[in-house]
Amino acid sequence: MAINIDELNDLLTQAGIELEKRKLVLKEAEELEQEKKDEKAANKGPKATKEFVVIIRGEPELKDKIQQAWIVQRKAEADNSCLVNEIKEVAREFNVGQKRQKRVVNAFRDVFRYVKRSFWKPKDIMVKTKEPVQVVIIEKEYINE
């Protein structure tokens, strides 16, 4: 439970405790609170990293063919058949629209990694992963097969 220093000070004042003793008690309470915070931070440990994983149901031969995947989000009614062409257009606009040619985007991995959100927004594409994600292939549709 956290100690509220102001409430403690009010309680000590109402109890008629002298100013010097109140200061000592408040100082001890603050030190105790700081020790609790430090202990909690020490016990916390490093934050676990998370990653996206794409699971595809298909033939086992796909394992050798699929090498990289990225996650993008679009509106439900969007036509996904032209998605690759829209990604190419975004890359073209990025390459033409740069004031200084720091980086020319030629590969798909670079498009997802370096192109800013302002270039994706007109196409209603939201990039969820800048780095490629792991792809897992499962052969069977049902769990108990």
pTM: 0.58
- Whether the per-residue pLDDT at 34 is higher than 80: the answer is yes
9-14 average pLDDT score: 85
Residue range 120-135, pLDDT digits in tens: 999 999 999 888 888 8
> In whole angstroms, how far apart are CA 15 and each of 10, 19, 22, 29, 40?
9, 11, 10, 17, 32
Residue range 71-118, pLDDT digits in tens: 999 888 888 888 999 999 999 999 887 766 678 888 888 999 999 999
